[in-house]
Amino acid sequence: MTSDQSSPFTTGLAGPAPELSVSRDLVKRGLLVAPLFCLISGVIWGLDGAFSCAFAMGLVLLNFLMAAALMAYTAPISLALMMGASLFGYLVRLGLIFLAVMLVKDFSWVSLQALGCTIIVTHLGLLFWELKYISASLAFPGLKPGKQK
């Protein structure tokens, strides 16, 4: 390879990080539906279900923010670092969610059914909901124009 060409392994990405705006949008939507989810969990599993749902929502939203921060931080350094951080960051974040659940599973306020259902439904639900607002255009990476607030 000549010195004129740049390697994708050493080249970073310049410019704004669209993953941060997408992540903030996900968190905003998550906070909008959190009271409804907690109410539904409270009706189904009682007060323990509502507390467990609130804890799970916090875990999920923190997970999305951590993922975006990791990519936004590593992308300007190098693409290889961003890819590695995405892969291993996913494994670490999954481990942190597992650890958080294991630490609270025996507490009196925890309903494991509510906690598990909320973690799964919230992750998938927010991602599918966000698909409607994502731009698949290189001209407007991140959120579609006009959808940002």
Mutual angle of helices 79-104 and 18-74, in 10-degree steps:
100
Q: pLDDT: is 63 or 7 the higher one? A: 63
CA distance 80 to 65: 21
Judged against a pLDDT cut of 50, whether residue 24 lies above it is answered with: yes
pLDDT of residue 78: 85
pLDDT of residue 3: 47
Q: Note the pLDDT tens digit of each residue in 43-59.
A: 999 999 999 999 999 99
Q: Mean per-residue pLDDT for 92-113?
A: 96
23 is a domain residue: yes
47 is a domain residue: yes
Mean pLDDT of the chain: 86
1 is a domain residue: no
Q: pLDDT: is 17 or 61 the higher one? A: 61
Confidence of residue 1 (pLDDT cuts 50, 70, 90): very low
Q: Mean per-residue pLDDT for 79-104?
A: 93
95 is a domain residue: yes
Q: Mean per-residue pLDDT for 27-56?
A: 96
**Cα–Cα–Cα angle for 80, 81, 86, rounded to 5 degrees:** 100
Q: Mean per-residue pLDDT for 17-21?
A: 81
Q: What is the dihedral of CA 84, 62, 69, 92, to 10 degrees?
A: -20
Percent of the chain clearing pLDDT 70 (strictly above): 81
52 is a domain residue: yes
Range of the domain at 30: 18-133
Buried b (16+ CB within 10 A) or exposed e, 1-39: eeeeeeeeeeeeeeeebbbebbbbbbbebbeeebeebbe
124 is a domain residue: yes
The total domain count for the chain is: 1
Q: Beta partners for 142? A: 135
CA distance 59 to 105: 14
13 is a domain residue: no
141 is a domain residue: no
Looking up tokens 């990080």 gives 17
